Chain A
């Protein structure tokens, strides 16, 4: 089992959106992607608990079902599940398909924004219920 640097359940901020940012340092896109994620969270005013997870071995990649670097999971849900599902787990760069259909090694700010907004809205509904 690969230990994840997540906080213990008792340490979670229940109101915060939990985000896992998984990366492999062999792919150069993670710093820019993490920067985009942070900018989006700030612009949206979303209270998030962000865990950055370095995936460094093939075994860890398989265990984490890591479809390539960078991968962002918001409340456990991949921000682009359709491209995650078509990728084989491993230490490689992640392919994203942008809104205009172009391939990219980086998720767009809009893709990240949609995912965190949807998660924040789900959290609000759960609190209200």
Chain B
């Protein structure tokens, strides 16, 4: 069962690559919070990575927080281990927390199945958008529908996004 639009955020407490523990309560003043299931190895993540970093930087000044969560089993994908997450976040200077869901419980509770998979919450931490970052993983210049950007703009205007849900497109989460 996937978290549905208009439902409240599901609490989590996960360790980030910076050694700190993060929960939804760590962002009390966020006007929007994008929780994105993520990983290191997936080519979809790699293709969207620079776009998500740019979006995170752009909206940080407007009170938006991004949080990335890796739920993949590192036994199956060694590139997605916590140590490799630290390397990746440092290499790409991630401007947001990158958290490790070692038990995979958070992914299960959210009903996440793919990386990347976006859950965007408003200031009251109510789900307003769930799905893919945009409509063209292959070519950033050819994007016609900027799903996450448009949802962020709507949420910041206190309006419902025109699209509340799109199919997540990416690698499957690697379950134990």
Contacts and interface: CB of A to CB of B under 8 A. Distances in A.
A-B complex is real: yes
B47 interface: yes
A92 B41 contact: yes
Contact of A104 (B41, B137, B169): B137
A94 B43 CA distance: 7
A105 B172 contact: no
Interface residues of B, number: 15
Which secondary structure dominates where chain A touches chain B?
Answer: loop
B156 interface: no
Given A26-B172, A28-B169, A105 B77 contact: no
Contacts of A106: 137-138
A95 interface: yes
A23 interface: no
A79 interface: no
Interface residues of A, number: 15
Given A27-B171, A105-B47, A93 B138 contact: no
Nearest to B115: A93
A17 B59 CA distance: 50
Given A26-B172, A92-B171, A103 B77 contact: no
Interface in B42-61: 42-44, 46-47, 49
* Interface hub of A68, A93, A106 (most chain B Cβ within 10 A): A93
Contact of B42 (A90, A93, A96, A102): A93
A95 B169 contact: no
